[in-house]
Structure 1
Amino acid sequence: MSPRWNADRSAPRRGRDRQAEVLRPKPGLSRFAGDTPRVAVVGGGIAGLAAATGLAERGAQVTLYESETTLGGRLAGWPVELADGSRATMSRGFHAFFRQYYNLRGLLRRADGNLGMLTSVPDYPLQHSSGLYDSFAKVPRTPPWSALGFAALSPSFGWRDMARMDPRAALPLLDVRVPEVYSRLDSMSAHDFLAGIRFPEAAQHLAFEVFSRSFFADPRELSAAELVLMFHIYFLGSSEGLLFDVPDEPFPQALWDPLADYLEGHRVQLRTGSSVETVAPQRSGGYRITAGGAPEHFDATVLALDVPGLRGLVEASPGLVDTEWRDGISRLRSAPPFLVSRLWLDRPVRAGRAGFLGTGGYESLDNISVLERWEGEAARWAARTGGSVVELHAYAVAPGADRPVEQERLLNQLYRVYPETRDAKIVDARHEWRADCPLFPVGSYADRPEVRTADPTLVLAGDLVRTDLPVALMERAATSGFLAANALLERWGVRGQALWTVPRSGRSRAMRLLARMATSG
């Protein structure tokens, strides 16, 4: 059983950035005294686990429902038997744990205060089919030198390219304020924003589309505000840099099994393989949660689901909140499908290949991971067989695409990037097709649901939720989960979780003033 954390010690630690901002919860009791509320958390991904953690640490009686048999949501893993008879763990693919992910890392510290399950990746290289190659290993971490250093070191930024750029159009990058960035740029696409700046095409592929496609979206659909926010989080708003960590074992072993032990030590009931069918508010207060045909009463509910799951549950639960809110949920969209192909090869990828490589200009291929470079399970398989475990990602695949054709197409791009793999025999291959990531299209910000609803005992969490903070992707999920727990705790007079974010506005006063003067002139 993991030790209990004192509420005063549970605030996630910030990293090296002295300008990171702390969000203090409202004052209150450190824990519940007397009767404790029963809370249902629907969804066992990062957001649901964060919400359950924040509530259980303060003494709430938490039951977490997860429809899959494993925890982790989009970072879940499950056992598979390979064609050679060995056992392995399959997942939905590589995820980078950036040092700016203060609240996610704070969640993981519940299982290991030193984050010993994470190992650093020495570089974040990007390769374009034209032959251009970028690296972040030598880029300074402190703004504005981070952005200037990247431009100076990158072969995709030539002097002629720099001269053609429109610096006035780029000024919003210097004066990012959250949430004001959405009122300024949500009406424009990421593609049009970059076109207005006249960034070199290769730089768009290597420096910016990597970010937009991490939202599993075509830049022509993605809100420019989300792209600019990403630039702020990684380049000009934070001194944590663009290098990252990864788990040193598959997600269940490294992350979720230890966190599950910690939650069970706080008396959280983890009901995996249990799909919630309806959530019905009761006249006497609270909710009747029905899962597997069995109803149960709770005082409050956290919905921490992906877009399809949230839409389906709200549609099946017509009494929730009000018509306007339910209509807003029904309008949420999922990003296009994505493909993760994992290959167990009978011979090694050439020594010196990066553990992770972002790619541009290789048709549907967005990145390549050589898993034995950091993951223990893959390294042990590779050492035993003399082979390699390689993972390929294709983001934002066209809906309706022929899956076998796309899988073969992705494999052929691997052969272009790492030609030595062409001669390898594929011992086994697994392909994961998913279409459940949220889409943040142009003009959608005002319509996104927030953590709090008109019903104070029903809150939302997840990366689809609007937080009005400079967070994205996994960090948005973790932050929203803690915010959901805080909203309920505040109602009951209990002090919630302190949170950290990168600065909510540009770091340099001089750059902010320059941007405002130019845009107002």
Structure 2
Amino acid sequence: MSRDRRRVVHRAPRGSSGSGARTRRVVVAGGGIAGLTAAVALAERGVDVDLLEREPYLGGRVGGWTTTLPDGTETGMSRGFHAFFRQYYNLRALLRRADPALDVLTPVADYPLVDAHGRADSFRRVPRTPPWSALVFALRSPTFTTLDLLRVDRRAAAALLDVRVPRTYHALDHLDAREFLDRVRFPDAARHLAFDVFSRSFFAPPEDLSAAELAVMFHLYFLGSAEGLLFDVPREPFHRLWDPLAAYLRRHGARLHLAHPVESVEPHGKGFRVHATDRAFDADAVVLALDTRGLHRVVEASPELGTRDWRETIAAQPTAPPFLVRRLWLDRPVEARRPAFLATGGLPPLDNVSVLDRYDRDAQRWARRSGGSVVELHAYAATGDRDATAGDALARLHALYPETRAAEIVADRVEWRADCPLFPPGGYTRRPTVTTPVAGLMLAGDGVRTDLPVALMERAATTGWQAANRILGAWGIAGHDLTTVPVRGRSAVLRRLAGRLSDQA
């Protein structure tokens, strides 16, 4: 249940209820969050939907599959932990379609942040309402002293007090996150915990991340929302998370084609012809909800699609450095005091540790039966190769959780990927938007620009709703309302302060 009374509802264009829309056909390319959202939004309005997904499972980067352990156990595996924050309104609206009470999610009591010197921050008992949430967090932090606060450049920091989208992008996108924090004179120790952890959730080091993205994320989690700083995680492994939504889509007449990668799209008559592995689909409209590299491939293979400038924009979109997920099934439990999720700062290459048997039912069953534990390590923006990163991450685990040194590794799975979008300095104006130069062709995904205060999974869901709304609006059919945190600083006092500080600059 949403707690923030200042959340903003963005009304969709009004129109008909969609009766008779079954004569309209849309192909959605990509079965991740963005594609699933677009497909749901269209199918609910009676549109005839074909959803094509490259993998044999749904969910995209939040999808999963099964793996068989040496003891014969078939269990879930994925590309790693994801945090479902409570201000992810549009993602939660998607999940509620098949799970109205969101029973699939369970809260994480805390997620401590620890640095190389053993200093730890915690979100437990931090107020939900800004600015008290950020203030109490800073005052309780062992890395942020009163002297540090006095040293902060208040004029530079004013940009964080009144974040506005898209104005903040125009003001800060030319800077990288590290340069911006240098200008603010944010203390090094505190930035490892207060900012680097969040910047690396974009799978990039701070010097490769736009300062505007960092500021918007600070607004989304700290000063713009009263939903709190804690999050929920799925009780079920990801290979089962999306099954109810797949059933919901089928009940609404949508057809799901798994292991059917889209190869190209061509204008055809008054619509499109979408070429997949073994067949073609004709459609009145198309949503390309693909990852960055998938979008590169499809557009490159579709020479008649779009303008030269647009095609060059797509081709120029960068991907983030590789990241590693290593999941370990250990023959003994980690200590009971270990949290479900621990974030780290200044401990490369390790960025976080998850103890899956604290919340994942598959992992819990295995741990109870074996007497062991299931631990997952994440290393974002890796600079070494796969094997070196995996080994170094394990060494960090042993240092942080010494009881794991003596544990035997019963099973070990490593995922090494490099397919997440990058949000570099200066990239905002060069990022593709939901609409394209081609009528009826839309984009969706976490790498797609939208002028709303959203990020990561929530950006994927939001652009999925927007892509569907654009198509529905063109046909005179009612769209779906969206909800976000406030689109500017929520505190009038902080806004006035930011204005005065900016005037002094």
Q: TM-score, normalised on structure 2?
A: 0.99
Deviates more, 1:404-413 or 1:64-73: 404-413
- 1:237 pairs with one of 215, 221, 224: 224
- Opposite residue 387 of structure 2, the aligned amino acid is P
- Opposite residue 174 of structure 2, the aligned amino acid is S
**Structure 2 residue aligned with 1:388:** 373
Distance in 2, matches of 1:512 and 1:456, equals 40
The yes-or-no answer on 1:132 pairing with 2:115 is no
Distance in 1, matches of 2:183 and 2:343, equals 25
SS of residue matched to 1:416: helix
SS of residue matched to 1:344: strand
The yes-or-no answer on 1:510 pairing with 2:493 is yes
- 1:317 pairs with one of 302, 305, 308: 302
**Structure 2 residue aligned with 1:298:** 283
- Opposite residue 125 of structure 1, the aligned amino acid is P
SS of residue matched to 1:234: helix
Distance in 1, matches of 2:143 and 2:446, equals 32
- Opposite residue 256 of structure 1, the aligned amino acid is W
SS of residue matched to 1:427: strand
**Structure 2 residue aligned with 1:117:** 104
- 1:94 pairs with one of 77, 81, 97: 81
- 1:433 pairs with one of 412, 416, 433: 416
- Opposite residue 358 of structure 1, the aligned amino acid is A
Does the CA contact (< 8 Å) of 1:124 and 1:242 recur in 2? Answer: no
Does the CA contact (< 8 Å) of 1:44 and 1:66 recur in 2? Answer: yes
- 1:46 pairs with one of 17, 25, 33: 33
The yes-or-no answer on 1:463 pairing with 2:446 is yes
Does the CA contact (< 8 Å) of 2:27 and 2:281 recur in 1? Answer: no
Distance in 1, matches of 2:439 and 2:496, equals 40
* Distance apart, 1:337 and its partner CA: 0.2
- Opposite residue 92 of structure 1, the aligned amino acid is R
Distance in 2, matches of 1:35 and 1:248, equals 36
* Distance apart, 1:195 and its partner CA: 1.0
Distance in 2, matches of 1:476 and 1:177, equals 16
Deviates more, 1:161-170 or 1:364-373: 161-170
Deviation by residue 1:286-326 (Cα, 9 ceiling, x = unmatched): 11111124222111100000000000100000111111100
* Distance apart, 1:37 and its partner CA: 0.6
**Structure 1 residue aligned with 2:180:** 193
Question: 1:134-213 maps to which residues of 2 (within 5 A)?
Answer: 134-213=121-200
Does the CA contact (< 8 Å) of 2:320 and 2:419 recur in 1? Answer: yes
- Opposite residue 26 of structure 2, the aligned amino acid is V
Does the CA contact (< 8 Å) of 2:22 and 2:46 recur in 1? Answer: no
* Distance apart, 1:117 and its partner CA: 0.5
Deviation by residue 1:147-171 (Cα, 9 ceiling, x = unmatched): 1111111111112222222222111
Distance in 2, matches of 1:162 and 1:236, equals 17
Does the CA contact (< 8 Å) of 1:157 and 1:200 recur in 2? Answer: yes
- Opposite residue 272 of structure 1, the aligned amino acid is L
Moved over 3 A (4+): none
Distance in 1, matches of 2:21 and 2:95, equals 29
Distance in 2, matches of 1:403 and 1:474, equals 25
Distance in 2, matches of 1:202 and 1:34, equals 57
Distance in 2, matches of 1:402 and 1:437, equals 17
Q: Relative to 1, partners in 2 of residues 1:34 and 1:182: Cα closer, same or farther, differing over 3 Å?
A: closer
SS of residue matched to 1:359: strand
Deviation by residue 1:239-262 (Cα, 9 ceiling, x = unmatched): 011100000010122x21111000
- 1:331 pairs with one of 316, 328, 337: 316
**Structure 2 residue aligned with 1:480:** 463
Q: Relative to 1, partners in 2 of residues 1:34 and 1:350: Cα closer, same or farther, differing over 3 Å?
A: closer
Distance in 2, matches of 1:413 and 1:487, equals 47
Distance in 2, matches of 1:37 and 1:334, equals 34
- Opposite residue 250 of structure 2, the aligned amino acid is E
- Opposite residue 349 of structure 2, the aligned amino acid is S
CA RMSD of superposed structures (Å): 1.0
Distance in 2, matches of 1:514 and 1:199, equals 19
**Structure 2 residue aligned with 1:287:** 272
- Opposite residue 277 of structure 2, the aligned amino acid is G
Distance in 2, matches of 1:183 and 1:365, equals 33
**Structure 2 residue aligned with 1:275:** 261
Distance in 1, matches of 2:64 and 2:470, equals 30
5+ residue gaps, structure 2, are none
SS of residue matched to 1:335: coil
Distance in 2, matches of 1:278 and 1:271, equals 16
* Distance apart, 1:458 and its partner CA: 0.2
Does the CA contact (< 8 Å) of 2:154 and 2:501 recur in 1? Answer: no
Distance in 2, matches of 1:332 and 1:118, equals 33
- Quote the sequence identity (%): 59
**Structure 2 residue aligned with 1:8:** none
Deviation by residue 1:23-64 (Cα, 9 ceiling, x = unmatched): 111110012326521100000000000000000000000000
Q: Relative to 1, partners in 2 of residues 1:370 and 1:58: Cα closer, same or farther, differing over 3 Å?
A: same
Distance in 1, matches of 2:480 and 2:150, equals 48
Deviates more, 1:460-469 or 1:29-38: 29-38
Deviation by residue 1:430-474 (Cα, 9 ceiling, x = unmatched): 000010100000001001011011222000000000110000000
**Structure 1 residue aligned with 2:399:** 416
Does the CA contact (< 8 Å) of 1:47 and 1:480 recur in 2? Answer: yes
Distance in 2, matches of 1:171 and 1:296, equals 51
Does the CA contact (< 8 Å) of 1:456 and 1:488 recur in 2? Answer: no
Q: TM-score, normalised on structure 1?
A: 0.96
Does the CA contact (< 8 Å) of 2:353 and 2:375 recur in 1? Answer: yes
Distance in 1, matches of 2:256 and 2:248, equals 11
- 1:57 pairs with one of 44, 49, 70: 44
